Structure 1
Amino acid sequence: MISIWVSVIVILVANGVRNEEDVQPCAKVQTSSSVVPLGSPVTATCVIRDDCPLVIGQAVHIEWRLDDGFIPSSPEASESGMISKVVIPNFNHSRAFLTCCVQASPIQVVGGVEIRAGYQPEAPQNLSCQTNLTNPNTMTCSWAPGQQETYLLTTYTLHTEIRDSNENHTYKLPTGAHSFTIPRSDFVLFSEMKIYMKAVNELGELTSSPIILEPVSAAKFDPPNIQRVEAVAKRNGCLKLSWSLSQQQAWMSGHRLNLEVRLKPADSNQWSEQPVLVSRVKPNKSVDLCRLLYGTQYFTQIRVRYKQSPWSEWSSSQSGVTLESAPTGRLDFWMKVSGDHMHKQLNVQLFWKPSKQFRANGQNVSYIVSVQKQPSEKGKVCSTTGNYCTFQLPKKAKKVYLSAVNTAGKSPPTEVKIYQPQGHTVISNMTVTPGGDQSLLVQWKALDTSSLSGYVIEWRPLLQTDLSHIQFEIADRNQSSLVITGSIEPYKPYGISVYPRFKDGIGLPQTVNAYSRQKAPSMVPKLRIKKTWQSHIELTWEKIPLEQRNGIIKSYKVFYWNEKGPIKVVNADLEERRVILRDLNTVFLYEAFIMVSTFGGSLNGSAIHFEIEPFDAVTIVMIVLASGVGLSLFAIFIVMTCFSNHKRIKGRFWPVVPDPANSSIKRWTSDSTEDTHPSWDNDEPDPIYLSHLSFLDMPTKLSKEEDDLWLNSAEETSDLGESICGSPFIPGYSGSNSDSVPYATVIFSGPYRSPPPKENQVYLRSESTQPLLEMEESFSPKCYQNMANHELLEEQCFFGPSHDCVPEEGTDSVIVWDDFPFLQALAMNDTQND
């Protein structure tokens, strides 16, 4: 209701102002100003007319309202109380209604006024103008208004003054616009102009700093064109550049412009930091660029401006090559030598790269390795355009020479000493950490630096096997870290080695594989069932290819479970790549999968299903049959072994008892048994060197108690084997038809094939009472040679005449038995049967 009254009273007051005769308000409100700075004090006075019907005949009580709120007031010193004054110490509204009211029922508004507050405008900032030389030609000026909000309506105007013609223009800008385009008719390209901006509102106006410019000098030209870039004849390191303006701005060709040129070598990605400035040059006139590298291809770009106008955009690139010169400077190198003491040749791998002082000075540069200081075809061992070379040298070679060659000449040779590999290990605590996606930080420590001359840090991508990808850096002996940058890529494995350098060789390196950034593997191997037991199962998997690992594998985990049990986890060995799942139940179906983890993430594989089958009756029968067959084969093998060696086994368990009836003892002698035994006689055991022979005289009849002669007492057999040497006839001996057979015992001192012993013979008595087999077949004794004192005597015939033995003339055919003691024991007397 109060707000409605406010609007009504304002209308009434306004109407009363326009037509005082028609409407006369009950009160008049006066303020110091209707627009004040925000936050400043405001003073207002309310005067009520005496003829106001609201106060006639009533006590007057005046109140003040600011929008919907009451504010305290102080009445003026008057008897009627028709005047009231109010002071607002801090007016903090951008817009508000101040009303004067009288106490009534309800309260009546008798007068009011609107008060607005704000800030004075700020001067426009960053005024700039740019001329467009493309048809139609125009000039656009832009600025930035003040950052502070004025809360009042602010207007902007652009003012230009052409000095040569005293021509002035003012442009009123639309509300909110911050730029304005001046038409071509209102400026002159080559005449100076003064340009400034004004900002105006009810609290005041401010003007920007003016700028004075020549419109053409405010023009931004189109990118120029490079027509060609070529080498300057007879001037090494110089290029000649020809250029022109765009077709729409070709009319400016008669004016001098400022030109900037930037260059970069063909093998670089960075343009020169400081472009070459060429001042006041006319288009279509060539420009010489010197102090460049010899024989190097350069890419060039240019841009132009007129006086202090903005630079144009860079032109498109054009390339040119400077004249070549012989390479200069030395090369950094790194040599690895292999070979052992058994070979006369050394296998050498030599790597090199340009040093900071090296200049190829040509496009097609090759490198020559020679054993001679001045390279020649005779001493050349290698020639290549790459950055490495492998060759062989004699073991006594001490040095080679490395030179760079182009069409203009050769560089001074770099001397490369051939260092033999040393067995020293001085590098310890080597670590490689990522320094970013494209860098690695290598750190190391040396156990002993007294003999060191430096280090060689070598790195190569493990996915590339070509030696050309090997890179290296030479480090000082006091250095303990190096940041590798350049060709490092994330998720790719690199092998980094640190070699110690000594004055006389290269020590053993330490090598670490590293990644600049890791992530989860790209694939997971499939689980395979290798072996199954009654309650166990063995799972295996293949290696992940190196290119799909994306990091260093830190764990293999196998998860398995059944439908009623919890999930179990088994960690696998990184090298074996297998796990054994134990204590499985034959009742349930199991499910398993493998998770492969790197230091950058993990990836799960596909699940497999398996179950443990219990042993059924058929399986048990098969196992029993297999066991039986195995045991049978083993038994057959043992039996066959025994039969194949029956003679040796028989000799172990059943000793051979000589059979005198079939024995060849009658052919033996005490001296030359080995010589007389035929080599073909293999049916009986090896003959023995005899030293004693005796017979056992067995009784004709034995009682029952005497059936087992092996059980007789020692007294009954104490005289068995009594020596009968020296007697050609044995009393009581019976022939083949007798009931008892004497048992011959042979005592020997050495094997048949052993030489006769020189020491005295030892005669042993026989304790055996085993009867000899009867000899039914008669035999005809052979001729024997009687040996006495190791001398050959004449042949003697025994046991009667024989056709095999014919005595020579002059020999005595009488047999002397005393000369043959052994044969005396073999003599058999004819006996008659009982």
Structure 2
Amino acid sequence: MLRINLRCVLVVWVVILSESLSSAGRPAPPSRPDCFIPCNENCQVDIHCTWEPGLDPETPANYTLHWKSNHSERQHAFHGTSLYGLILRRHFSSHDNLHVWVQVKNQHGSVESGEATFNTAEIFKPPPPEVTWSVREPLEISWTSSCDQLQHSLGSCDVRHRTGAGQDWIQEGSFHGSFTFHSPRPCSVYEVQVRCACDSGLRSNWSGSLWKSSIGTAPVGELDVWRDCGISPQSSDCVLTWKELPASQACGLILGYAVRLSHLDSSVVFVNVSTAEHRGPLVCEEMKCYLNSSLKGVSSVSVSAYNAHGASGPSHLSVPVTVKGDKQKGFYLKMTEDNLTVSWNFSSVLSENLKEYVVQYKLTGSPLGQGLDWVRVSNSNTSAFLKGQFKRYKPYQVSLLTVSCSNLSSGSSPVQHLSSAIGFSHQGTPSRVPSFKVQSIAVSDVTLSWEPVPLLQQNGIILFYQIGVNRHNVYNVSSSLTSKQLRVHPGQEYEVWIRAVTAAGPGENTTVTFNTNPHEDYVYFGLVLPVVLSLVLVLVLVSLSCLCPGAKTTCPLMRQCFLKVPDPRNSHIFRKVKNQINDSSDWICVCEPHPKISLLEVVEIQSWAFKSSLKKTSNPEGSTRPADRDRSSQKDRTDEEREDTVTGDSQRTDNKYRAEAYSRIIDSDEEEEKGEKEEGVDCCSSSKELLETGYEKHFMPTAEEILEAV
């Protein structure tokens, strides 16, 4: 039993599914046919029928017009694919009642429309009447019908009117020959249409529209005044522009505009421009006008439109525009060929007295007064939508500005520029970079510079630049940069190219070739520089070795200069810096304030002369020095012990010590000169006198040491 029920359920589902599929594919039924006999100068003999398609008119289908009369059961048909069909005169009589319907058919099935029933003598349709404005009343129309020509009398007529495009029609009926607008709204433009019927038959189609303004008054509202400064918001070379008043506000023909210019020097200039002058300073096109003169030096303006009945209220504008810092972030735009959508988020930088936003776009490169449009947006909105015909591959600068509340003293509203951006309705590949050159070449790098692609030749937003080196390495460089430093190898030839890249792809390459410095520079510096440094180092080492205490062994050529070094304890200069010597590696330069420098004459003494001199002065024990030498040595040892024991008052000790020791160093040349004057004996004539002098006994070497050196 359960199996039978399941089978029945499956059969029912199959039937329902097939019917739903067949109904889903069937065409929708068309409207009831509208049939009439058209009459112009003479009425035609055939019946014209029209109908509307169903809900799916795009599905291909065939239409068939069916009809039959009361006197015959025979059906007639007219086949076709259009929404129009004919019933020929031979298929009906002059006073015949017809039943007409339409059948539509496609591959999924067919369906019929509702049936229309009429008498063939009552479906005459006269042509639309001719309507004119009456000369007697300002808002009265009259019309004439062609019913007389059709041998029929005029029936009633219908009138419909509205006060602006897009408004709903107001329809009134049963008028004969004329219609008057009672209590019309002032400063309104009325659009009127009329249709009529004869004493028998159908009503005609609606006549063409007529427009007329209501009772003449001065223009209402204010002009939308703005300024065109090109693509620079701070440019002083601007022109004044405004949008024409719509017909509902113009209240008739606008005869001209009154312009008041307030300059920075407090002077005021009035300009009256007429719309009748085609070559004057006023230029009007595409519902916008502008003055063909610069606003340089103008602080604020006001403009009024006037007609034969009066002028509108003045519209004020502050010409100088202040810039809100740098380019603000949070400004977005999307542009197509038909519209522009802009959005922003600047709530943190807005003032409290914000009146409204202004979104404007300017075709880059177009003259002042042309290629500009703008729209005003409420201060509570953060987006705007503009319609237009935006050219492909052409840059448009889109800007966002704010208008603050009016200044009570001048009546002008301060304008502030927030942000700008470049937009393209359609992007293409950019043009080639106009200039690409080598700025400088170093040993291991090269600096390249280029000129950016001009805005009018970019064909899109430049995302970045690509630099290729010898067809191997490609670098992406920011579009804001105009130079790039690359690493190179010496002594090679390079071929470098650059190109701009947009969303549509890269443009053409601009190529430059150059050679880097040869590798010999490295060899030259690598060989010469070490040699020079080595020579300098050798000279320094030689100098240091000659100045070292051990110069006797390290500098044999000059050891005679350092055979005997004066005892530094005998110089107060060395005692003053004694405490400063903490590190043996430190270099200390000690200079006496006014040293006495004498030129010593070196006299070569033969070895036999020293030997004979030594024989005369030697003691019995074979000593090489007299008794004074022993006393001098003993005195030196006493001085050393005395200096080591001094730990207290250094000043007192130094004074006493200088009195006992060699507080005044006597130059040997002075002693020799003194001896020559007193005794008239040469310094070399008596070796005993040379050896007995106190200074020489203490500092100069002995004869044995001199002989050893020789």
Q: TM-score, normalised by structure 2?
A: 0.48
Q: TM-score, normalised by structure 1?
A: 0.42
The structure that is strand-richer by fraction is 1
Which of the two has higher C-alpha Rg? 1
The structure that is helix-richer by fraction is 2
Q: Which has the higher contact order (CA 8 A, sep 6+)?
A: 2
